[in-house]
Structure 1
Amino acid sequence: MFNPTDFPKPTLISVNGVELEVYEAGRQNAGEPIVLCHGWPEHAFSWRHQMAALAAAGYHVIVPNQRGYGNSSRPAEVTDYDIEHLSGDLIALLDHYGYEDATFVGHDWGAMVVWGLTLLHPNRVNKVINLSLPYQERGEKPWIEFLEEILGGDYYFVHFNRQPGVADAVMDKNTFRFLRNLYRKNEPLRAPEPGMAMINLANAETPLGEPLMNDSELAVFVSAFETSGFRGSINWYRNLDRNWRLLADVNPIIQQPTLMIYGDRDAIPRSENLTEFVPNVEVVHLDCGHWIQQEKPEETNEAILRWLEQQDAS
């Protein structure tokens, strides 16, 4: 298990009108940047198992807490968390370090940001590695309307938008319980419960499956969200329809070499037409749930490093 005291100390960096809390490894490898983008409700610490391995392989590893997370800025306006702002933060981070482009790695919402960043700023992204969330094809209807029709008003994406502030308050009140119950692995299959899944998790007395991490690792996430609250991070969801509009006119095809890593027991569905939108993609499956890089750190590192080596050789 990882000892949190081994995690690097962060720097606060001013970019794009906000301050980002940024963790680094391998600064001596200037010129080979790789930027790791966490998901929800996570933290740069979710990449703790990857940082040293990537630095040892010759990369300058840059891991921001994105806006709304950790000690990074938490702007008040919901629209300050749209894809233009989130990708703009990452571009400004590249500018800060003097990099033309970088390899970007995303998990969960971080993958959504990396897909969007690559569409909006294709010349700043040289390679894409995404975990869990495949490329999402832009449909005819805005996302929340589409999801509400299929999955109903209790689906958490919809609930976050239709009932702003309700879930945020429940999670803020039950931060430890929510994160303890969420960060699990080997969970038994079960029928969906009525109600809103994230509120149910925040209120559930007993977690299912096995803990994903030890108590001191979990404490890093709990402490971060006890400080920040959940509103800023949930505001990412409240921009799904805005992002749908912002991406209306971009070329939807991602040309960069791409690695897509799925967890075979992840609830997020696979993409059936990934190669239509990401023609240069290689797909890897790992035997795990949603928290891929934390549940299977060695296998994740091996898949990423093997693929990067192949790209450098080609």
Structure 2
Amino acid sequence: MIMSLEVEHRRIYTNGIWMHIAEKGQGPLILLIHGFPELWSCWVHQINNLSAHGYHVVAPDMRGYGDSDCPQDPSSYTLFHTVGDLIGLLDELGQEQAFVIGHDWGAEIAWHLCLFRPDRVKALVNLGVPYRPRSPQFKPSHYFTKYGRGFYISQFQEPGGAENSFSKYDSVTILKKFLLINAPDLLAAPPGVEIIDFLETPSLLPPWITEEELQFSASKFQKTGFTGALNYYRAMDLNWELLGAWQGAKITVPTKLIIGDKDLGFVSFGTKDYINGEIFKSFVPNLEVVVIDGHHFIQQEKAEQVSNEILSFFSKKPKM
């Protein structure tokens, strides 16, 4: 399915790296930003659907992933780097503005694209991850200590640590463990256990993903390893240090947040109450929230519903 799509592929030089993009269709630009541990191909349904409705859809492999460059230094993965990559991509495409869709880490990047450069974004649809303002006091690593050493983000912090624990598994198994999560709410391993060992390997695939799709993604991670993907987590404290100037800033871009009611991120960390509360709306005042029946990877699990939600939102906005 992935390789049979009428999708064009090329690499674009942006912000000091070569970035691979997949694109299809003509019309107003839609930029799709993937998360962890994904590739451009996690958007295959949206690429087909949105391009068929008159959009030029572009899905990059973000830095550290797939056929894009993979710097080894975690300090090359701040939100300023990743947003800079996308601004350079828009420039290379000759587009002043784009409609933007982000998922997981891609949603975090999309929030900050809107925070740094709202002039470049017509409207935003984010999946799974609400905007959370920067803590004025605590770095993320300090905040996450309350969840214990087994918390997945804490385990990802040490360069080489997670890669070492991942090395006993092939890439397909690693992807199955993270994409098809069956774990407690907080995604934390017991004391002394690595998160990759703790996560179960499902014996059956759900209907929303095929063995072919998993093998395609696994073949890319087999070449690159997971260091680039993990470096996003390792740059979290550096992000905090660099974001002080945006303390208290609001996101003014028209936004729709779509989140699954069974997403671990929705049922943990007080997210459900936060989304329904006033703090979130005060930082993203032009906001619409949609909670659907689904888990974390809803752009695949609920592909048609998510695409329809995207189209209904973007269709209300001027295309030019």
Q: Same fold (TM over 0.5)?
A: yes
SS at structure 2 position matched to 1:22? strand
Cα distance in 1 between the residues matched to 2:251 and 2:50: 24
Cα distance in 1 between the residues matched to 2:91 and 2:9: 18
> What is the aligned counterpart of 1:252 among 249, 252, 264?
249
Residue 144, structure 1, aligned to residue 141, structure 2: yes
Aligned to 1:198: 196
Shift, 1:276, TM fit: 1.2
Cα distance in 2 between the residues matched to 1:120 and 1:189: 35
Counterpart AA for 1:38: H
Closer, same or farther: CA 264–7 of 1 in aligned 2, 3 Å = farther
Residue 75, structure 1, aligned to residue 71, structure 2: yes
Closer, same or farther: CA 205–262 of 1 in aligned 2, 3 Å = closer
Cα distance in 1 between the residues matched to 2:107 and 2:318: 22
> What is the aligned counterpart of 1:166 among 157, 161, 165?
161
Residue 241, structure 1, aligned to residue 237, structure 2: yes
Shift, 1:182, TM fit: 2.5
Maintained 8 Å contact 1:105/1:130: yes
Counterpart AA for 1:256: V
Cα distance in 2 between the residues matched to 1:239 and 1:86: 11
Aligned to 1:261: 258
Maintained 8 Å contact 1:172/1:230: no
Shift, 1:3, TM fit: 4.9
Cα distance in 2 between the residues matched to 1:9 and 1:310: 28
Maintained 8 Å contact 1:184/1:208: no
Shift, 1:205, TM fit: 5.2
Cα distance in 1 between the residues matched to 2:81 and 2:9: 22
Residue 22, structure 1, aligned to residue 28, structure 2: no
Maintained 8 Å contact 2:99/2:314: no
Closer, same or farther: CA 212–189 of 1 in aligned 2, 3 Å = farther
Cα distance in 1 between the residues matched to 2:115 and 2:201: 42
SS at structure 2 position matched to 1:218? helix
Cα distance in 1 between the residues matched to 2:218 and 2:119: 37
Q: RMSD value over aligned CA atoms?
A: 2.1
SS at structure 1 position matched to 2:70? coil
Maintained 8 Å contact 2:36/2:104: yes
Give the gaps of 5 or more residues in structure 2: none
Cα distance in 2 between the residues matched to 1:143 and 1:188: 22
Cα distance in 1 between the residues matched to 2:203 and 2:177: 5
Aligned to 1:44: 40
**CA-to-aligned-CA distance 1:41-74 (integer Å, 9 cap, x gap):** 0000000000121112221111100100001001
Cα distance in 2 between the residues matched to 1:248 and 1:105: 25
Shift, 1:206, TM fit: 4.8
| Correspondence list, 1:157-306, <5 A | 157-161=153-157, 163-174=158-169, 175-184=171-180, 187=182, 193-194=189-190, 195-201=193-199, 204=200, 206-207=202-203, 210=206, 212-250=208-246, 252-269=249-266, 270=271, 271-272=274-275, 273-306=279-312
Cα distance in 1 between the residues matched to 2:167 and 2:11: 24
Cα distance in 2 between the residues matched to 1:283 and 1:275: 10
Q: In the comparison of the two structures, how many residue pairs are matched?
A: 304
Shift, 1:181, TM fit: 2.6
Shift, 1:171, TM fit: 2.4
Closer, same or farther: CA 84–199 of 1 in aligned 2, 3 Å = farther
Closer, same or farther: CA 172–5 of 1 in aligned 2, 3 Å = farther
Structure 1 vs Structure 2: percent identity of aligned residues? 36
Cα distance in 2 between the residues matched to 1:125 and 1:3: 28
Maintained 8 Å contact 2:122/2:317: no
**CA-to-aligned-CA distance 1:161-199 (integer Å, 9 cap, x gap):** 1x32121233244122111232227x5878965134334
